[in-house]
Amino acid sequence: MTKKLNLNWRYILSAPFIYGMVIPAIIWNIGLEIYHQICFRLYGIPLTNPKEYFIYDRQLLACLNRWEKINCYYCSYVNNLIQYSAEIGGRTERYWCPIKYARRVENSHSQYSKFIEGKSPKDLRKKWKKLRDFSDITPTKS
């Protein structure tokens, strides 16, 4: 028994905007990976393992039709890329500017809790140097 594909005018109208984002996402992914591989190695920042972020299994569900599986794959790619980017960004921020914001941050990346409250310049520089030691992060195996 085949599942009925539920289309309406909103789906058709929005499709070019949704699927048009695949090109910027791929360009972002390529640029991000070039940055990640070169700069992290230069600064001694442990590489982020993409396998921890790019997970594709929802399309394996038998309850989805072919189109829904394609949508799940695409949605997983873009949302996983955002999470992967956030981790790379968090590690970069930890290296270059690990200072907490003056206001409370609701949704922060994995490194933010280690950041410094910027009160004293001397204290800031001392703690900043310690944060450039990434020994608390297990390096990935290539």
Would you say residue 2 lies in a domain?
no
Would you say residue 12 lies in a domain?
no
| pLDDT score, position 5 | 59
| pLDDT score, position 77 | 94
Residue 116 pLDDT > 60:
yes
Would you say residue 101 lies in a domain?
yes
Asked if residue 99 lies in contact with residue 121, where contact means CB atoms within 8 angstroms, the answer is no
Structure pTM? Answer: 0.83
Average pLDDT over residues 19-43: 97
Counting the structural domains of the chain, the total is 1
Asked if residue 140 lies in contact with residue 48, where contact means CB atoms within 8 angstroms, the answer is yes
pLDDT-derived band at 102 (thresholds 50, 70, 90) equals confident
Alpha helices in 2-133 (DSSP H): 9-19, 22-43, 66-96, 121-131
Would you say residue 105 lies in a domain?
yes
Give tens-digit pLDDT for 45-95.
999 999 999 988 876 778 888 888 888 889 999 999 999 999 999 999 999
Domain residues for the domain of 38 are 20-131
Strand partners, 99: 116
pLDDT-derived band at 1 (thresholds 50, 70, 90) equals low
What is the C-alpha to C-alpha distance for residues 131 and 121, in angstroms, rounded to an integer? 15
